[in-house]
């Protein structure tokens, strides 16, 4: 049996662009992709903190250190610039792999720059000013 776990997460990324006339996906700054261990074309689960929308799409590489988080195609209908997103990478793994998993949780500021990397979920209130 395979288990489905959260392998990595970019927490509270700010949408910088939304373009519906596009082939579709989420564009993520290459630096953030590397921090979260994401590959181009990898499927991710996205949750929009502003409106509660959840959707799955694939990642396309944005310019390095640009801070871009762009919703493209149908995903553009689920968020607008300024919305906060949680972008999660899901991994399928064996029981043994799952028990050894050290997920990567990437906290970003309002410019989508990395401010913290950890392997545990933060408990308590979120600092929304970051």
Q: What are the b/e assignments for 32-55, b being 16+ CB within 10 Å?
A: bbebbebeeebebebebbeeeeeb
Report d(CA 95, CA 82) in Å as an integer. 39
User: Alpha helices, DSSP H only, in 26-94?
Assistant: 30-36
Query: Known catalytic residue: 89?
Result: no
CB 99 within 8 A of CB 90: no
Catalytic residue among 22, 35, 58, 66: 58
Catalytic residue among 8, 18, 22, 25: 25
Active site residues: 25, 58
């Amino acid at each position: 049996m395979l288990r489905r776990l959260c392998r990595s997460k970019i927490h509270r990324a700010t949408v910088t662009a939304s373009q519906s006339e596009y082939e579709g996906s989420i564009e993520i700054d290459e630096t953030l992709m590397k921090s979260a261990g994401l590959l181009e074309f990898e499927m991710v689960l996205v949750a929009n903190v502003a409106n509660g929308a959840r959707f799955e799409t694939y990642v396309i590489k944005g310019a390095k250190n640009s801070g871009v988080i762009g919703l493209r195609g149908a995903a553009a209908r689920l968020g607008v610039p300024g919305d906060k997103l949680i972008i999660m990478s899901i991994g399928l793994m064996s029981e043994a792999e799952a028990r050894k998993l050290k997920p990567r949780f990437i906290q970003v500021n309002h410019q989508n720059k990395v401010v913290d990397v950890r392997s545990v979920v933060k408990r308590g209130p979120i600092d929304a000013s970051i």
